[in-house]
Amino acid sequence: MKKQFLGWTAAALLFPFFAAGANDKHDAFLKAEKKARYGNYEDMKKVTGELDHPLKPYVEKAYWQRNPSLQHQTEIENYLNVYQNTPLEWPVRKAWLEYLKKQNKKAAYIRNYRETSNNELTCPYLSFQLDLGAPENAIMNQVSDLWVVGKSQPKECDSLFSLWKKKGYQTPDRVWQRVTLAAEGGTSSLLPYLKTLLPEHEQYLADLYLKVRKDPSASAGLYRYKKKSAKEGQIALYGVRRLVWRDKELALRAWEKIEKMFSYTDEQKADVYYNFALSLASSGHKEARFWLNKVPKDRQTSKLMQWQLANMLELQDWSGIVAFFTGKENLTLGQQYWLAYSLNQRGEVERARQIWQTVAKERDYYGFLASARLGIPVSLNNKELNISDKLKLEVANAPGFKRARALYELDRFTAARREWNYLTDTSTKEEKLAASMLAADLDWYDSTIYTLAQIKEWDYVDLRFPFAFRNLFENYSNRSHIDVAWSIAISRRESSFAPDARSHANAHGLMQLLPSTAKYMNKSTVSRSVLYQPRTNIRLGSEYLKYLKKKNHGNEILATASYNAGYHRIKRWLPEQAMPAELWIELIPFTETRNYVKNVFAYRQVYHTRLGRDGNVLAPILDMKMGG
């Protein structure tokens, strides 16, 4: 049963509006919102005057978005002032600005404009300022910033850009800056247009950039660099940095010649060394160590140090690891763990034990591994959150909290999270903690988790690792014959228990299932809306874990990695010669999958312990082998 952070009496005091009749009040809001959206001004005023609901300003928003009018200018601007910086503001402000632009109300537009990334609104703002006598140089400098980007800008900027060009601000240097931005990660289809803006003797450079963008191997064709100019060198540098990720041998041969052909600064060379080191190390290339050692000390990022470690682990160079990490400050837990491991391999058992004892104090994948090494209980470092009823009452009665709660209850999750983010972004740390506790009591699991992460309060374990949808996880885990701590850890890592979560890869719901995966497990098509239902998502996700466990012959490490990266890819990562499982995990070539496996097993341990179970779920990893 879910732990209650508030008793029923306290909850009723904190949420008086919702204590009774919430559905009737929500129905009244929905009717009023519809009336305001499609009715006239009198309809909107009537329904808002009669409505007693936290979402009353959403009724007004529905009307003002569709019906901006100079006749009601004062009312609209008052609304924007009252709800400034809230999620209610920008939908209305955008509609209002677009209306003022059409009406050519320049002064009103300038007065109502607020800084935005929407350049359809920014360009008229700058144009109107010029029209009303603003200093030309100040405005044109802002226009320069708008023009020198690696993408096309909206048509609303065309007339402003024409004036900017006419005034002499479109210099060759600015054109080249934009060419560079468009070629190196921007919109490459912009390059043929930008080519026409370059001086005639440099127009070939745009063609060369486009060729290298489409095919990095073109950078290895040294005959293309006819003038051996600094700009050709810039293109060659860009190309070879990309080429090393596609054709490592060609990149290595090309760089050997390109480096001699052009005069590069130490900083430019360091960029190449860094890219080569990452690429070669992540693929286990035989020259990785050489390039890792070429990277200057001031460029030694945590990412690079991880691959430095991985390279030495793959070679089982225990002495190299000890020499590299001994004496370094601020080592990560992983670096400390593997330093101890290497010392242990060299027979320096007591030094290794001392380091592992320090690591084992942490609630972390490496902390749990170190605990298993030492044969001691894991440490969750849990803290109880104590917040006064007075502060909880203040937060619960904040208009933003009331709006967020009402939107959650109406299943308007995106809008609810916007209100929640506004609430927490404008709160003190103590208020955020109070809000986290209130959200936990209302089962807004993801809001609690993200808010505590935002303020780096990691030790409120009960709040950060809730037993969300516990009955469903237990039911379907038992049915699929898998460990419930494993399935719930997967969901915690995948979605933070947001039922409506959707990834860029088009995965849906609590356990982030692709529609194709859901169809395969269900033996029939499953709609996206159904995947957002916790019962269906957990059922299919648990079945999928069972399937992956069977495909991987009962190996839950491989099944976990397969859940993230796909079964067939994982099979390709297995070594020909058997290696320790913890070493294999550390050498997973995809950073996302490597961290995913570590996080899931750490979360699994947390849930294992919170379920009242003894033992360390990572202990079997120490005796397990992969591959061979």
Instruction: State residue 452's pLDDT score.
Output: 98
Q: Give me 617's structure tokens.
A: 């779920």
Kindly tell me if the per-residue pLDDT of 398 is higher than 80. Answer: yes
Given a contact cutoff of 8 angstroms between Cβ atoms, the answer to whether 97 and 112 are in contact is yes
Q: How far apart are the first and last CA of the chain?
A: 45
User: For 568-587, what is the mean pLDDT?
Assistant: 95
Confidence of residue 10 (pLDDT cuts 50, 70, 90): very low
Among candidates 438, 467, 435, 471, which has minimal Cα distance to 454?
435
Q: Give the model's confidence band at 18: pLDDT under 50 very low, under 70 low, under 90 confident, else very high.
A: low
CA angle 164, 169, 172 (to 5 degrees): 130
CB contact at 8 A, 536 and 530: yes
Do 278 and 303 contact (CB within 8 A), yes or no?
yes
Distance CA 142, CA 126 (A): 8
pLDDT band at 21 (very low <50, low <70, confident <90, very high): low
Predicted confidence (pLDDT) per residue in 411-431, tens digit: 999 999 999 999 999 999 999
What mean pLDDT do residues 395-404 have?
96
Query: Nearest to residue 254, comparing CAs of 231, 222, 287?
Result: 222
The total of other beta-carbon atoms located within 10 Å of residue 534's CB is 17
Residue 472, token pair as written in the block: 């469903």
The pLDDT value given to residue 7? 40
Residue 300: band (very low, low, confident or very high) from pLDDT cuts 50, 70, 90? confident
Mean pLDDT in residue range 82-100: 97
DSSP 287: T
Query: Is the CA virtual torsion 239, 241, 245, 247 positive or negative?
Result: positive
DSSP 274-318: HHHHHHHHHTT-TTHHHHHHHS-GGG--HHHHHHHHHHHHHTT-H
CA distance to 6, 26, 419, 442, per residue, from 20 (Å): 17, 11, 23, 16
User: Among residues 16, 88, 19, 34, which one has the least CA distance to residue 58?
Assistant: 88
What's the token pair of residue 377? 């209980």
Tell me the whole-structure pTM to 2 decimals: 0.90
Residues 6+ positions from 33 with CB-CB distance below 8 Å: 55, 58, 59, 62
For residue 617, give Cα distances in angstroms to 376, 418, 478, 480, 603: 13, 38, 18, 19, 10
Residue type, 97: L
Residue 39 has pLDDT above 60, yes or no: yes
- Give the model's pLDDT for residue 303: 87
* C-alpha–C-alpha distance, residues 419 and 16, integer Å: 20
Q: What is the DSSP string of 311-365?
A: HHHHTT-HHHHHHHHTT-SS--HHHHHHHHHHHHHTT-HHHHHHHHHHHTTSSSH
In angstroms, the Cα distances linking 462 to 2, 39, 99, 424 are: 10, 48, 50, 20
Arithmetic mean of pLDDT, 285-300: 92
Determine the distance from the C-alpha atom of residue 63 to the mean position of all C-alpha atoms in its chain, rounded to a whole number. 34
Give per-residue pLDDT as tens, 509-564.
999 999 999 999 999 999 999 999 999 999 999 999 999 999 999 999 999 999 99
Q: Reply yes or no on whether the pLDDT at 11 is more than 90.
A: no
Give me the pLDDT at residue 24, please.
87
For residue 476, the 8-state DSSP code is: H
**Average pLDDT value for residue range 294-320:** 91
How many residues would you count in the chain? 628
Query: Percentage of the chain with pLDDT > 90?
Result: 92
Contact (CB, 8 A) for 240 and 251: yes
